[in-house]
Amino acid sequence: MSELTTTVDAAAAGLDPSRLQRISAHFDTYVKEARLAGWLCVVGRDGEVAWIGSGGRRSIELNLPVTTDTIWRIYSMTKPVTSVAAMLLHEEGCFDLNDEVARWIPEFADARVYVEGPPEAPVTRPATVPMRVWHLLTHTAGLTYGFQRCHTVDAIYRHRGYELGARSGVDLAEAVADFARMPLLFDPGTAWNYSVATDVVGRLVELWSEQPLDRFFETRILGPLGMQETGFCCPEERQSRLAELYLYADGDTFRPSGAMGAAATRQPLFLAGGGGLVSTAKDYHRFATMLLQGGTLGDVRLLSPSTVALMSRNFLPGGADIETLARDSFSETSMAGVGFGLGLSCVIDGARLRMPTSEGTVAWGGAASTTFWVDPQEDLTCVFLTQLLPSSSYPIRRELQRLVYAAVVD
């Protein structure tokens, strides 16, 4: 079970309890106004659980409350886990960040870039530079997502069966081969676009480790960190704790997602390193704390401090932020002042972001409005879990950050 309790008094940890309660009041209003079904937030300080807040229902239809052991679809919060998996193997000498992806996935050797034309008959040209591993980890590889609907290449993905996941009947290896056959949006390393790149990283992890991605996660990350209820599906014995997935509808309302949410109850053929995990607040707090503590949790060391520091640096060309470098890419929140490292966003200019978040803070979120961040300057972590898709429905993430930082008083 993933029951979660506080391990330190909030005031002793430098957090104002009365100000923390503003978080509850704010998101309980979301619930009262039927904008969210339920929510759960964990604020950590110095590696301890300092505050837990929750409200609403994990299932409105069944009248089941949110509990600290509720299981949630974390979607793209899978990406940092996959990136950590890759960097474990980087530390072991399995690859160099400058290595060409085609060394392990030959289909990428002949990558081509979209020029013009309809999705059914695009005109393309050869890429001017090879795709490298660091391009994948930073979303500068030129890949995309079919659901974005921002570019003709997005439509090509949809045309070939890749919109919100993989086409029916393909595993990770087959899907990645399909990605390699579709045109890129741009030459690798020249722009930023949110994409299936982390799914490709997941396939590389399989090739480097000679293990399926779920097995590598379990033996090298989830098991060692004690993330006992995180995986690519929610097994039957835990499904009573799985939150319902809701879809935003016009008029600030939502409805159950049906089959889309039910997918989390079945072991997938396509192991999506970019978005396939379910998890709990306790589990993901442990993952965030590992990053805060430079790659270690208790007696377990996954990464060296230097590797975590490398992941947290801005890799975007010219030190640009995502907003400057993005090609009309889908964004779950404002990306002004935010760069991108190896699998994590990183705050590079708090003033441009116009938020109290410390520079050097790393973060990411998921499609169902979940989010987390790690702020080494303040020794602060935050994990927020809910199940409303898409995550752009409300400015939850910016609101949450303002409320949390307003409670930091020491």
Question: pLDDT of 109-160, one tens digit each?
Answer: 999 999 999 999 999 999 999 999 999 999 999 999 999 988 999 999 999 9
Q: Would the pLDDT of 106 be above 80?
A: yes
pTM for this structure? 0.96
pLDDT average, residue stretch 51-62: 98
Which domains, and CATH codes, for the chain?
A: 85-209 (3.40.710.10)
Q: Which of 164, 172, 228, 200 is nearest to 83 (CA)?
A: 200
215-224: long-range pairs with CB below 8 Å, 24+: 216/85, 217/81, 217/85, 220/85, 220/88, 220/302, 221/81, 221/84, 221/85, 221/88, 221/287, 221/302, 222/283, 224/300, 224/302
- The alpha-carbon radius of gyration of the chain (Å, integer) is 20
Per residue, what are the HEC states of 223-239? HHHCCCCCECCCCHHHH
Give Cβ neighbours of residue 123 (< 8 Å, ≥ 6 apart): 114, 115, 116, 117
Q: Is the pLDDT of residue 96 over 60?
A: yes
Residues in Cβ contact with 237 at an 8 Å cutoff, skipping those fewer than 6 apart: none
Helix (H) or strand (E) holding 344: none
Going by DSSP bridges, is the β-strand pair 72-73/64-65 parallel, antiparallel, or unpaired?
unpaired
Least confident span in 224-228, 286-290, 393-397, 406-410: 393-397
Sign of torsion over alpha carbons 297, 227, 64, 78? positive
pLDDT above 80: residue 349 = yes
Q: pLDDT category, 329, cuts 50, 70, 90? A: low
* Average pLDDT of the chain, as a whole number: 95
* Pairwise CA distance, residues 238 & 89, whole Å: 31
Kindly state the average pLDDT of the residues 253-271. 93
Quickly count: other Cβ atoms within 10 Å of residue 308's Cβ: 25
Q: Are 156 and 123 in contact (CB under 8 A)?
A: no
Q: What is the pLDDT of residue 330?
A: 53
Residue 368 clears pLDDT 70, i.e. is over it: yes
Query: What are the CA-CA distances from residue 23 to residues 119, 234, 254, 268, 387 (Å)?
Result: 45, 29, 22, 35, 17
Determine which of 27-36, 91-100, 326-335 has the lowest per-residue pLDDT on average. Answer: 326-335
- Residue 187: the pLDDT is 98
The pLDDT > 90 percentage for the chain reads 91
Q: Where are the beta strands (DSSP E) in 280-351?
A: 296-297, 300-301, 338-340, 345-347
pLDDT in tens, 263-278: 999 999 999 999 999 9
Q: What percent of the chain has a predicted confidence (pLDDT) above 70?
A: 98
pLDDT score, position 1: 53
Decide if pLDDT at 20 tops 60. yes
Q: What does the alpha-carbon distance between residue 216 and residue 222 come to, in Å, rounded to a whole number? A: 9
